[in-house]
């Protein structure tokens, strides 16, 4: 596909990079020549310098023959305008990043009125990711599939976990819950495990399970469940606003610490029932005074990665039981972060990139009824979990799974059929309109039938 990406910040760069890796023809547009030149050194794309919200720049970028324009600048208004002009000039599909919380209730109006293929809000999506992680204190990351009925939860196996040193087929058979180990990271290696795979201490494992039984699963493998009742958030940016609103809906006592007085005042007027503290979140005395030692969770959402990391470590030092989550933008030190005592590290730019990649994959499947419904990357972004809807003409339907010849390193993780979640065995079959989650460490799938060898 021919795709134009307007705005090459953190998110724009990540989206362009991942789409280029999937062999799409990418043109990047930015007003800064240095940004274009730096990106061209890293990624095999074409660069155009200019304002992506003008017809001249978009025409120079090839909008009249492109399949999609993705506008990801720092301005919602420029993104909307860029997509509007691109659509008028002949772009088949348009995606705009719209971040302002004041627009959140009007996204569907903006999308429908302007004919956008998608309006994506990275901060709101990141807040939802934070909330899912908070609901399972043991989990590092949580991804949702099957209309909210299936979870993939990744966590580090510690000494208390009774999965250690046992073949998966033995340990999971004793749990007697719908659950499947779908990926394991050990050091720098990633495995799609079979039943004979033996889990070791410090492995990171991703488990697919029914949302209804996820909490019971953790209890049965030896983890204690701690309900989140009090949470402290450092930084009052857009993600914090969305997260605070979500937490308020489930009656979690929430404190936001924000050092900018005007921002703190704005938060106070915007957020009901949220404790807003004006102060420096890096101030030890302030954090202790505001109750960090009694917090069940501590979210570091400042715009500075180093602050988020150091504050998370400090929180653990004064409150070892607290669930710590850090927002990180840069990925250079991901391997180092795995060794630190931080429960979850979330990269908002990857969340946005996955949403856009899902849309591009779905378009790439043409008129197939089995196009991509959900796509996320798990286990340090090394494994893809992709959800398809089973088309009536799929080659997989009405055949026992044990008879299907699947490609290497592909796992059929779950089947959602109506309200029922099935962790399939060899005798199960697929039916039209089932939702199927596929796990792969090597393939980039856009059609369900592509899993066949």
Query: Per-residue pLDDT tens for 11-36?
Result: 999 999 999 988 899 999 999 999 99
Structure tokens at 160: 């208390």
Structure tokens at 184: 């394991």
- Exposure string of 323-352, with b = 16+ CB inside 10 Å and e = fewer, is bbbbbbeebeeeeebbeeebbbbbbbbbbb
Q: Which of 176-180, 229-233, 375-379 has the highest mean pLDDT?
A: 229-233
- Adjacent-strand bridge partners of 141: 154
Residue entry with tokens 């592509």: 450
What pLDDT is recorded for position 45? 96
Average pLDDT, the chain: 90
Pairwise CA distance, residues 399 & 390, whole Å: 13
Residue 4 has pLDDT above 90, yes or no: yes
What pLDDT is recorded for position 192? 93
For residues 245 and 289, membership in a common domain is answered with yes
Contact (CB, 8 A) for 136 and 219: no
Instruction: Give the residue ranges of DSSP H helices in 153-301.
Output: 168-175, 214-220, 238-249, 261-270, 284-289
Pairwise CA distance, residues 73 & 82, whole Å: 10
What pLDDT is recorded for position 330? 85
Label residue 104 by pLDDT band (50, 70, 90). Answer: low
Structure tokens at 7: 């705005």
What pLDDT is recorded for position 37? 96
**Which of 43, 41, 38, 42 minimizes the C-alpha distance to 27?**
43
Pairwise CA distance, residues 309 & 174, whole Å: 38
Pairwise CA distance, residues 381 & 186, whole Å: 14
Residue 347: inside a domain: no
Neighbour-count burial of 194, counting CB atoms closer than 10 A to its CB (0-12 exposed, 13-18 middle, 19+ buried): exposed
Structure tokens at 331: 């990925």
Rg (alpha carbons) of the chain, rounded to whole number: 23
> Which residue segment(s) compose the domain that 372 sits in?
353-451
Residue 432: inside a domain: yes
Q: Is 175 helix (H, G, I), strand (E, B) or coil?
A: helix
What pLDDT is recorded for position 225? 67
Residue 78 has pLDDT above 60, yes or no: yes
Pairwise CA distance, residues 293 & 314, whole Å: 11
Phi, psi of 336 (to 5 degrees): -70, -40
What pLDDT is recorded for position 337? 85
What is the DSSP code string of 40-85? HHHSS-EEEES-TTSHHHHHHTTGGG-SEEEE--S-HHHHHHHHHH
Residue 34: inside a domain: yes
The mean pLDDT value for 353-362 works out to: 85
For residues 270 and 366, membership in a common domain is answered with no
For residues 370 and 312, membership in a common domain is answered with no
What pLDDT is recorded for position 339? 82
Residue entry with tokens 């009249």: 64
Residue 44: inside a domain: yes
What pLDDT is recorded for position 266? 94
For residues 357 and 315, membership in a common domain is answered with no
Q: Tell me: the pLDDT tens digits for 297-340? A: 999 999 999 999 999 999 999 999 999 999 998 877 777 887 88
Say which residue, 363 or 43, is predicted with more confidence: 43
CATH of the domain at 412: 3.30.70.1450
**Which of 260, 262, 322, 265 minimizes the C-alpha distance to 288?**
322
Residue 194: inside a domain: no
Residue 284 has pLDDT above 80, yes or no: yes
What pLDDT is recorded for position 269? 93
Residue 90: inside a domain: yes
For residues 293 and 239, membership in a common domain is answered with yes
What pLDDT is recorded for position 20? 93
What pLDDT is recorded for position 432? 92
**Nearest 10 degrees: Cα torsion 68, 69, 70, 72:** 170
For residues 289 and 377, membership in a common domain is answered with no
Instruction: Give the residue ranges of DSSP H helices in 154-197.
Output: 168-175
Q: Which of 71, 103, 120 is the last residue of a domain?
A: 120
Pairwise CA distance, residues 86 & 58, whole Å: 7
The mean pLDDT value for 402-431 works out to: 91
**Which of 394, 255, 352, 412 minimizes the C-alpha distance to 16?**
352
The mean pLDDT value for 100-119 works out to: 77
For residues 299 and 409, membership in a common domain is answered with no
What pLDDT is recorded for position 445? 85
Q: Is 188 helix (H, G, I), strand (E, B) or coil?
A: coil
Q: Which of 81, 103, 120 is the last residue of a domain?
A: 120
Q: Which of 320, 345, 372 is the last residue of a domain?
A: 320
CATH of the domain at 261: 3.40.50.720
DSSP strand pairing (93-97 vs 118-120): parallel
What pLDDT is recorded for position 165? 92
For residues 307 and 367, membership in a common domain is answered with no
Residue 102 has pLDDT above 80, yes or no: no
**Taking the complete model, does pTM exceed 0.85, yes or no?**
no
Residue 74: inside a domain: yes
Phi, psi of 60 (to 5 degrees): -60, -35
Q: Is 357 helix (H, G, I), strand (E, B) or coil?
A: helix
Label residue 226 by pLDDT band (50, 70, 90). Answer: low
Label residue 196 by pLDDT band (50, 70, 90). Answer: very high
Pairwise CA distance, residues 343 & 404, whole Å: 38
For residues 367 and 443, membership in a common domain is answered with yes
Residue entry with tokens 């938060």: 267
What is the tally of structural domains in the chain? 3
Q: Cα dist. 396→228, 304, 421 in Å?
A: 42, 48, 18
């Amino acid at each position: 596909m021919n795709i134009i990406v307007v705005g090459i910040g953190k998110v724009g760069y990540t989206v362009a990079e991942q789409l280029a890796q999937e062999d799409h023809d990418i043109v990047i547009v930015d007003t800064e020549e240095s940004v274009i030149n730096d990106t061209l050194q890293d990624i095999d794309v074409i660069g155009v310098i200019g304002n992506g919200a003008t017809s001249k720049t978009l025409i120079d970028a090839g909008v009249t023959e492109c399949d999609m324009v993705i506008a990801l600048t720092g301005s919602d208004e420029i993104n909307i305008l860029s997509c509007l002009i691109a659509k008028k000039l002949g772009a088949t599909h348009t995606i705009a990043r719209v971040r302002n919380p004041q627009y959140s209730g009007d996204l569907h109006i903006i999308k429908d009125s302007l004919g956008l293929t998608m309006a994506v809000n990275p901060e709101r999506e990141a807040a939802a990711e934070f909330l899912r992680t908070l609901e399972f204190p043991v989990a590092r990351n949580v991804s949702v599939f099957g209309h909210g009925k299936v979870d993939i939860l990744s966590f580090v196996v510690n000494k208390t976990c009774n999965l250690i040193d046992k073949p998966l087929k033995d340990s999971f058979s004793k749990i007697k819950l719908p659950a499947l180990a779908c990926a394991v990271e050990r050091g720098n290696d990633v495995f799609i495990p079979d039943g004979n795979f033996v889990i070791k201490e410090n492995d990171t494992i991703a488990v697919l399970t029914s949302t209804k039984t996820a909490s019971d699963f953790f209890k049965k493998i030896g983890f204690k469940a701690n309900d989140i009742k009090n949470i402290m958030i450092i930084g009052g940016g857009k993600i914090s606003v969305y997260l605070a609103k979500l937490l308020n809906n489930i009656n979690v006592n929430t404190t936001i610490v924000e050092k900018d007085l005007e921002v703190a005042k704005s938060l106070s007027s915007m957020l009901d029932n949220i404790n807003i503290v004006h102060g420096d979140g890096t101030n030890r005395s302030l954090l202790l005074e505001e109750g960090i030692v009694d917090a069940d969770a501590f979210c570091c959402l400042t715009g500075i990665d180093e602050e988020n990391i150091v504050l998370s470590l400090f929180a653990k030092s004064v409150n070892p039981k607290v669930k710590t989550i850090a927002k990180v933008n840069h990925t250079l030190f991901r391997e180092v972060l795995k060794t630190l005592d931080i429960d979850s590290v979330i990269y908002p730019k990857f969340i946005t990139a996955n949403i856009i990649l899902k849309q591009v994959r779905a378009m790439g499947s043409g008129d197939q009824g089995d196009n991509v419904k959900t796509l996320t990357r798990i286990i340090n972004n090394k494994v893809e979990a992709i959800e398809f809807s089973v088309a009536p003409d799929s080659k997989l339907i009405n055949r026992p799974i044990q008879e299907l010849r699947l490609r290497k390193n592909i796992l059929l993780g779950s089947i959602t059929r109506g309200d029922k979640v099935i962790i399939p065995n060899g005798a199960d079959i697929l039916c039209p309109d089932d939702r199927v989650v596929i796990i792969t460490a090597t393939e980039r799938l856009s059609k369900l039938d592509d899993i066949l060898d």
